[in-house]
Amino acid sequence: MQPNPYQQEPIQARPPGAGECRFCGSTPAKKVAIQSMAGVIFAYELTTYKGWICRDCGMSLYRDQTANTLKSGWWSLTSLFVVPIFLLVNLIRWIRLRGLAAPRPTAGVVAPNPRPANPGRPLFKRPVAFLLLFALPFVLAVLMIVALALFA
């Protein structure tokens, strides 16, 4: 019997690989780590999401993890200095993802989510943004150090 020339090869489903978002399987994606932090008197508890992440899943993750950090990061004795630095590190990682093109699904990839995550509400439209005021002493201290170094 002749093989049917119109029959298509079935697409093999596979998990996301290198260069594909670990959450939705879309491309392009970048390898990053986005974290949140909770302060516990003397210590910190870190939650880390690491791997290939697309722009939209990254934005959703960045916003949620930063909101979590703003909510629960301040409850340690060294938080006033540690949390602002931590927020800056996350911000720089997010800026690396921001430049990516809009995610497109990859045929044959089966990921935990069927499509890129909804980015969610912007951080400054969430009530938790007020907790950024805790970072004010740190910002003022850095500005004072810079001013003293330059002008004293």
Tokens linked to 6: 């119109």
- Each residue 100-129 as x (binds Zn ion by CB under 5 A) or -, in order, gives ----------------x-------------
Sequence-separated (6 or more) residues with CB below 8 Å from residue 144:
none
Contact flag: residue 61 with Zn ion (CB under 5 A): no
CA dihedral 137, 95, 70, 44 (to 10 degrees): -90
In the complex with Zn ion, which residue's Cβ is closer, 83 or 100?
100
- Which 76-105 positions form the footprint of Zn ion (CB under 5 A)? none
- Each residue 1-40 as x (binds Zn ion by CB under 5 A) or -, in order, gives --------------------x-xx-x--------------
Contact flag: residue 57 with Zn ion (CB under 5 A): yes
Place of tokens 């992440």: 53
Q: How far does CA 73 lie from the centroid of its chain?
A: 16
Least distance in Å: CB of 27 to Zn ion?
Answer: 9
In the complex with Zn ion, which residue's Cβ is closer, 82 or 119?
119
Which H/E stretch holds residue 137? helix 136-151
Distance (Å, whole) CA 50 – CA 57: 12
Binder of Zn ion out of 54, 61, 100, 135 (CB under 5 A): 54
What does the DSSP assignment read for 31-48? EEEEEEEEEEBTEEEEEE
**Which stretches of the chain bind Zn ion, using CB under 5 A?**
21, 23-24, 26, 54, 57, 116
